[in-house]
Amino acid sequence: MKESWRWYGPFDRISLGEIAQTGASGIVTALHEVPYGDVWSREAISGRKAEISKAGFEWVVVESLPIHERIKRGEGDLSGLFANYRQSMANLAAEGIHTICYNFMPLLDWTRTDLAAPVARGGSCLRFSAPKMAALEIFMLGRGAARDDYPPQAVAEADAWYQGSSDEDRARLMHAVMAGLPGAYDRYDAEGLKSQLKLYEGIDRTDLRANYRRFLEEVIPAAEELGMRFCVHPDDPPRDILGLPRIVSDADDISWILGAVDSPANGLTLCSGSLGANPKNDVPAIARQFGDRIHFAHLRNVRKEPDGSFEEAAHLEGDTDMVDLVSALLDEERRRRNAGQGNWEIPFRPDHGHELLDDAARQTHPGYPLVGRLRGLAELRGLIAGLLRVAQQAG
C-alpha cells in the first residue's frame, strides 16, 4: 500500500518539508482555491505538481475535483458545468494524474458538532453528537420534522442543551458543522444555511440518485478514454442530515453506484471512518465485496454510541477491526499483482487524527493535525509490515 498524506496546498499550515519527515511518499491534494465549476487549468495543475515533485513527493490522488451543487440538484442547463469538469479531467490526465476522489454529499462534506472533544490521557478529537445536531436542526434551523430523525432521548437532550446554551455555544456549534467544507469556500450562519437548504426542497433520495447517475454518465466515459479512475467517498456521517438525503452510506448504496455505470473507472474510496459510523456496516466485508473497485483508502476509526453519536478513535482502536480491514486490502493488492494488473498498489492516507502535544497550537484544518496523523501513519505502517511478514512466512 502506498503511504500518502493529505495536503491543503497554500491553505495548509503543515509544510511539505514537515510532511517529508513523516515518511509518506504520496501527496493527496486539490486546487482548493479554484471555485466549484471552474476549469482547473493545465498551468495551475502543472505548477502544483512541480511544487510537490520538488519536495520529493508524487501527487497520487486528487481529493477532490468538486461537483457543483447545481449538478447535485439537477438544476438548469448543466452542459457547461459538465464540459468544464471533463476539461479539468483532461488537464489532470495530461499532467499524469489519474485518480480522482470525490463525493456526492448535498451541500456539506463531513459533518461534526465538536472539533476538540477531549480524549482520555490528553488530546482532542472530532465528535458528532446526535443531541447537538438535533438541537441545530430543530431549534436553530426550525426543522420541526427533524424530531422524527433522532431517538427520543437525543431530542430531549437537544432541548436541554439548547435551553442551556449561550449565543457563543450556538455559534461554536455552527462553526463546527461548517468546518467540513474544504479549502476557502463560503461558510454559513443559521440563516444562510436555511437559505441553502431551501434550494434542495423537494429533492428526495430517488431524485438525488438520478442526478448522480447523470453525473456518472457524463464523466465516466471520459475517464475511460483518459485512463482515469474515479473513486466516490462515502457519506460522513452515513445518514440523512438537515433533511438532505445521503446515498453513499452502505453496501447497497455502493453496489448501486458501481452498477449505475459499470466500469473499472467508476470506483470507491474505502473510508473506514465514514462507513464505520453506520452500525450496520461491516467495513472489512465491504472491502472484500468491492475490492476490485477500490482505488483509494482513508484509514481511521470511530467509536459509536447507541443514539447515533460517534467520535474519532485512535487508528487501531474503535469499532472497526483495522487488522482485518488492512488484511483485506493487502489481499486485494496481492490478487491484482498476481493477475499482472498495472497500478496494483492501493494508495492510502491516515485520515482524521487526534490533536496531540502541540497540534492545537498550529490551528490546522480540523481533523488534520500533524502529530495525530503521524501517530496514525506510524501505527498503520507497523500493522502493514506485520501482516506482510506473516503472509511471507506463510508462503
Given 233, 295, 315, 354, the catalytic residue: 233
What are 379-395's pLDDT values in tens digits? 999 999 999 999 999 97
Q: How confident is the model at residue 319, as a pLDDT?
A: 97
Q: How confident is the model at residue 180 (pLDDT cuts 50, 70, 90)?
A: confident
Q: How far apart are CA 198 and CA 195, in angstroms?
A: 5
Parts of the chain belonging to CATH 3.20.20.150: 2-109+203-306+314-393
Q: Residue 117: pLDDT above 70?
A: yes
Q: Residue 346: pLDDT above 70?
A: yes
Active site annotation includes 32: no
Given 271, 282, 295, 359, the catalytic residue: 271
Q: How confident is the model at residue 275 (pLDDT cuts 50, 70, 90)?
A: very high
Given 212, 352, 354, 359, the catalytic residue: 352
Q: How confident is the model at residue 186, as a pLDDT?
A: 64
Q: Residue 13: pLDDT above 80?
A: yes
Q: Residue type at 310?
A: F
Q: How confident is the model at residue 182, as a pLDDT?
A: 58
What cell numbers appear for 374 in the block? 503521524
Average pLDDT estimate for 249-257: 98
Active site annotation includes 233: yes
Supply the pTM of this predicted model. 0.95
Beta bridge partners of 58: 26
The 10 Å Cβ neighbour count of residue 259 is 9
190 burial level (CB within 10 Å; 0-12, 13-18, 19+): middle
Average pLDDT estimate for 101-110: 93
Q: Residue 183: pLDDT above 60?
A: no
Q: Residue 184: pLDDT above 80?
A: no
Active site annotation includes 368: yes
What are 38-92's pLDDT values in tens digits? 999 999 999 999 999 999 999 999 998 999 999 999 999 999 999 999 999 999 9
Cell 447517475, located at residue: 213
Given 298, 315, 354, 359, the catalytic residue: 298
pLDDT, the chain, mean: 95
**Architecture of domain 2-109+203-306+314-393 in this structure:** Alpha-Beta Barrel (3.20)
β-strands 301-304, 229-232: how paired?
A: unpaired
Report DSSP state, residue 369: -
Active site annotation includes 351: yes
